[in-house]
Structure 1
Amino acid sequence: MGFDFHQRYSRQIRFRHIGEQGQARIASSRVAIVGLGALGTASAAQLARAGVGYLRLIDRDIVEPSNLQRQILYTEEDARAGRPKAVAARDALLAANASIAIDAVVDDVDSANAESLLADVDVIVDGSDNFEVRYLVNDVAVKHGLPWAYAGAVEAHGTSAFLRPGRTPCLVCLLGRAARVGHDTCDTVGVISPIVQWMASYQVAEVLKYLAGQEDALSNAILQADLWNTDVRLIRMGGPKPNCPCCAKRVFAALGSGRRALSVTFCGRQTIQVRPERDAALSLGALADRLRPLGVVRANDALLRFETGDISITVFPNGRALVHGTDDPARARALYAQYIGM
């Protein structure tokens, strides 16, 4: 049995900057969240409880024990079962608010599918852990005139900004064309949960301002914080660069040819993602029967987990697989060909 709309959101409606009209706007809004790690789960929890009417949760990964320290929507049982993050997050959010619509997408965001996954929402929220995906989000946002909330957190440092095409710089304005490689990640230097929660809260506050029709309240600034040393800075952004290749000249380099990467390394994880050039339609049941004589198999409707020797492979129904136990893309693709078939 559902709860009365005004009862559920009474404290948010009483906040004078949102009110009845703002809450109605929030309830009719659509948001995509790219990545359901620490930032993505924190943002998703706040947006779902705030009453955003539709959430699309996108993540390619599964829940692991190391996620539980900071990724607030997951349980030990999710990690034991290796559940897809998008599915586990959806179930947790619907248990908190069954009155909203949530779509779980267990997949990459890449140049082949970025527009179909992101172009039909009101706001995109960045919960990713790499700049390759962020440049794709930026391209879609600029091309389709969509605002997006950027954030990153590592160690006790965090950065966040709400970017609006035509009003603020885009990511290419701020950082240039090339994706940043060789930067620290939580897998290499760690992260504490409080900085994640702060950056996610800043993201969500800006998103709620926009969705509630309160754009004059947007900060138009980059928040940078170091919680360990208690150092906080707000850097005003100004407008777009007049010669920006992306938002001025409308060259969408990240979207490129629309081809997807066939192998992707997960930093610090000894995990390689392998996928066919075109999505397949695998029968996980039939694959399980074929693999059982060769190792340990666990399967459900969402994924199949196969373990043999020092290697395990997580396979999804569209043919995408995570090969765990190697950081060599060539070996990962050879194992995929051996056990799954190219």
Structure 2
Amino acid sequence: MLVDNRYSRQILFDPIGEKGQECIQNSHVLIIGVGALGSSSSEMLVRAGVGTITLMDRDYVEESNLQRQQLFTEADVENKTPKVIAAKNRLQKINSQTKIDAQLTDAGVEELEAIVPDVDVVIDATDNFDTRLIINDVCQKYHTPWIYGACVASYGVTFTVLPDETPCLQCIMDHIPSDGATCDTVGIISPTVQKVVAHQVTEVLKLLTGNTEALSGKLVAFDLWKNQQMELEVASLKDDSCPSCVKKIYPNLDYQSQLKTAVLCGRNTVQIRAGKHRNFHFDDFKMHLKQTNLINYLENPYLISFEINEFRVVVFHDGRTLIHGTKNIQEAKKIYYRFVG
């Protein structure tokens, strides 16, 4: 049953109307990552009346999150509240009619294969390409649309992937600018987040209401600070030999392609290796680290070493990384994705 007053302005928008609003309220959206993109998109979709939202994230709230991750408070920082829990608490106060499923977990192959077949659309709000490539292959396997999104500094990019129709992320990887920059190395301004989210959520609403003819169909990229925007027609980029969307091999679901972690015996250290298909650009990585105010930075022909809080990070030329100061794999992966992956 529609709550006309609550959603009246959305229902008045002709492409949605009452029929579209009913579709929205009967839908299930999976949001992977509840940081800047995930917290903003989840709030928009809860306010829009999405029936069920599953949130998936492994992290807890930190002080540096508050500048751009709008669902969280200083109390969440003080309590080290997991992001999915803090987000659920806030979202349920905004709309008690939406069912929020908070999953405090890594978005790995097993976790995604258990839920993606049951959702209508997936929003990528992650911080690394390892997870995005897994999302890509799981969504291809189960024919689930998903919206890629990323942002750093004043730059953002987004693209809607429709299995069996558009190129997939694997097809367009070479056309996505990637120089190794992360929010921890070059920072980010919050308007960048909101512009990416506006595009992602709009595409979700189009999909949920059956307005597929209105989908962008383009890779959208922008730099707010430089007043630049680019839209790339991607239909011609579909790779006839793509293992993910054409050959249906799904290479990123293979164990050898996934990030490998190991706790080193007796050393209070976690070792991390990227999957076999990932290329590590050591020179780009080194360039961005030099722009960051890191403690005890050291480099030689074989490796780079630096400290972040109580951890020492050592990155070898091939991308193999040691996180000293912890045996917690999730904690080590968090540091890895912030600075290396």
Q: Shorter-normalised TM-score: what interval?
A: 0.7 to 0.9
| 1:41 Cα deviation from its structure 2 partner | 0.7
Native 8 Å contact 2:122 2:145 kept in 1: yes
Q: Is residue 2:183 matched to residue 1:186?
A: yes
| 1:261 Cα deviation from its structure 2 partner | 5.2
State how far apart, in whole Å, the 1-side matches of 2:193 and 2:262 are. 25
State how far apart, in whole Å, the 2-side matches of 1:21 and 1:247 are. 32
Number of the residue aligned with 2:295: none
| 1:147 Cα deviation from its structure 2 partner | 0.4
Number of the residue aligned with 2:6: 8
Native 8 Å contact 2:84 2:104 kept in 1: yes
Gaps of 5+ in 2: 264-268, 273-307, 314-321, 331-341
Q: Secondary structure at the match of 2:4?
A: helix
State how far apart, in whole Å, the 2-side matches of 1:222 and 1:335 are. 34
CA 1:110 to 1:59, structure 2 compared with 1: closer, same or farther past 3 Å? same
Gaps of 5+ in 1: 266-270, 275-322, 337-342
**2:220 aligned residue (215, 219, 223):** 223
Native 8 Å contact 1:112 1:259 kept in 2: no
Number of the residue aligned with 2:326: 332
| 1:175 Cα deviation from its structure 2 partner | 1.1
| 1:243 Cα deviation from its structure 2 partner | 1.6
Identity of aligned residues (%): 40
**1:164 aligned residue (162, 165, 169):** 162
Structure 1 residues 72-115: Cα deviation after superposition (integer angstroms, max 9, x where no partner): 10001001110000010011111100001000000101123221
Structure 1 residues 188-229: Cα deviation after superposition (integer angstroms, max 9, x where no partner): 110000010000110000110010110011010111110001
Q: Which amino acid aligns with 2:166?
A: T
Number of the residue aligned with 1:314: none
Number of the residue aligned with 1:56: 54
Number of the residue aligned with 1:294: none
Native 8 Å contact 2:130 2:258 kept in 1: no
State how far apart, in whole Å, the 1-side matches of 2:12 and 2:255 are. 48
Q: Secondary structure at the match of 1:139?
A: helix
Q: Secondary structure at the match of 1:254?
A: helix
Number of the residue aligned with 1:138: 136
Q: Which amino acid aligns with 1:325?
A: E
Number of the residue aligned with 1:232: 229
The equivalences for 1:274-293 within 5 A come to none
Q: Is residue 2:195 matched to residue 1:198?
A: yes
| 1:235 Cα deviation from its structure 2 partner | 1.1
Q: Is residue 2:240 matched to residue 1:255?
A: no
State how far apart, in whole Å, the 2-side matches of 1:5 and 1:154 are. 38
Native 8 Å contact 1:131 1:180 kept in 2: no
Q: Secondary structure at the match of 1:5?
A: coil
CA 1:231 to 1:180, structure 2 compared with 1: closer, same or farther past 3 Å? closer
| 1:120 Cα deviation from its structure 2 partner | 1.5
State how far apart, in whole Å, the 1-side matches of 2:198 and 2:271 are. 30
State how far apart, in whole Å, the 2-side matches of 1:157 and 1:55 are. 27
State how far apart, in whole Å, the 2-side matches of 1:47 and 1:144 are. 23
| 1:61 Cα deviation from its structure 2 partner | 0.2
Please report the TM-score for the alignment, with normalisation by the length of structure 1.
Answer: 0.76
Please report the TM-score for the alignment, with normalisation by the length of structure 2.
Answer: 0.76
Native 8 Å contact 2:124 2:148 kept in 1: yes
| 1:260 Cα deviation from its structure 2 partner | 7.3
Q: Secondary structure at the match of 1:61?
A: coil
| 1:242 Cα deviation from its structure 2 partner | 1.9
Structure 1 residues 123-155: Cα deviation after superposition (integer angstroms, max 9, x where no partner): 000000000000010011100001001110000
Structure 1 residues 2-32: Cα deviation after superposition (integer angstroms, max 9, x where no partner): x971111000000001000001011111100
Q: Secondary structure at the match of 1:20?
A: helix
Q: Secondary structure at the match of 2:101?
A: strand
